[in-house]
Amino acid sequence: MTEPPPPFPPLPRRVFLARTGVLGAAAGLTGGHGRAAAAPVPGVEELIGLVRPVLARLALDTFRGLAAFALPGDDAYSRAQGTPRGRAGGVAAEAGDLVVASLDRLVPFPQEVARPLTMALVTAAADAGIGLPRQLPPELGRLDAALRLLLRGDEKIPLSLVAAVLLGVLAAQVNPAAANGLFLSPFSRLSYRDKARVFELLEHTDSDLVALLDTHLPQPLRGSVSGLLKYLGSGLLSLVTFGCFTEHAVWDAGRRDITALPVGWRLTGYDGRTDGLDDFKGYYQGRKEAVGRA
């Protein structure tokens, strides 16, 4: 049986910075006189600090695009996919936010699985050429570079990020133009039809992607990628649809009450909470007690 490739070898801080071009950029700021630049050269930890919030936004942006797919509304994501509506939808219901919170807080996801899957997705993201915001240093301007950096540290890899990168890789496969565009997530840049195609690929499991992911998984999970992807696709669609019709976006945990009328209530015509129907208050047909028969 073929063994998975070894994890990325640790690099000394200076070697890593040289390879990513940070040291070269810093040298350019000295004017060639060998003096230290005014701005300190960032270390690996500082660079990870730059990348971490961008990747978190990438995950959230992905699942907001998925929320628009589940329930189109009057938001930018729905307009981009070609299905605008004249009322609030899944994005306003914060269904995408609920997906991220649920994946990261409620679904057990051991790092023994998370990190190998992320390593495999680095290769897929590199092939897709998925870009990141220009605010990042140029050497971290691609998703694969940012993921490589994240894997150098001891960062916990959240499940929402792994799922978002997977959808992004498949999005770029469905439409290569989605690798760069208006939104941070390639998936959110797709049309409604192309988003459906992404989930079709998850259901039928692209053989090349399955092989790539499978070689990185530890035993006894090798050979189970097809089933995992099908389960993930179905689970994401179910979870985001559920989120569209919950009170999540307007629930005040401190007051244990809602602060506004939820999107789902408005769409379904639900007229709010009740204390129960009059016919079911007390005993049936005015009875005062329950008498059993011998």
Say which residue the tokens 């200076």 belong to.
14
Has residue 286 got a pLDDT over 90? no
Least confident of 12-21, 132-141, 171-180: 12-21
Closest CA to 161 of 94, 231, 71, 61: 61
**Per-residue model confidence (pLDDT) at position 207:** 61
Closest CA to 237 of 191, 268, 272, 195: 195
**Per-residue model confidence (pLDDT) at position 85:** 96
**Per-residue model confidence (pLDDT) at position 212:** 73
pLDDT digits 0-9 by tens, 33-46: 344 434 444 578 88
Average pLDDT, the chain: 80
**Per-residue model confidence (pLDDT) at position 40:** 45
Say which residue the tokens 């006189």 belong to.
33
Closest CA to 232 of 201, 257, 189, 270: 201
**Per-residue model confidence (pLDDT) at position 280:** 59
**Per-residue model confidence (pLDDT) at position 273:** 67
Instruction: State the burial class of residue 268 (Cβ atoms within 10 Å of its Cβ: 0-12, 13-18, 19+).
Output: exposed
Greater model confidence, 184 or 230: 184
pTM attached to this predicted model? 0.76
**Per-residue model confidence (pLDDT) at position 242:** 95
| Residue 259 identity | T
Give me the mean pLDDT over the 240-252 stretch: 94
Rg over alpha carbons for the chain, rounded to the nearest Å, is 24
Most confident of the following: 67-76, 102-111, 125-134, 169-178: 67-76
To the nearest 10°, the Cα dihedral for 121, 125, 128, 133?
A: 150
Sorted by where each begins, the domain ranges of the chain are 13-42, 44-268
**Per-residue model confidence (pLDDT) at position 94:** 96
Percentage of the chain surpassing pLDDT 70?
A: 74
- CB-based contacts of 53: which residues, under 8 Å, 6+ apart? none
Has residue 3 got a pLDDT over 70? no
**Per-residue model confidence (pLDDT) at position 187:** 96
Has residue 27 got a pLDDT over 70? no
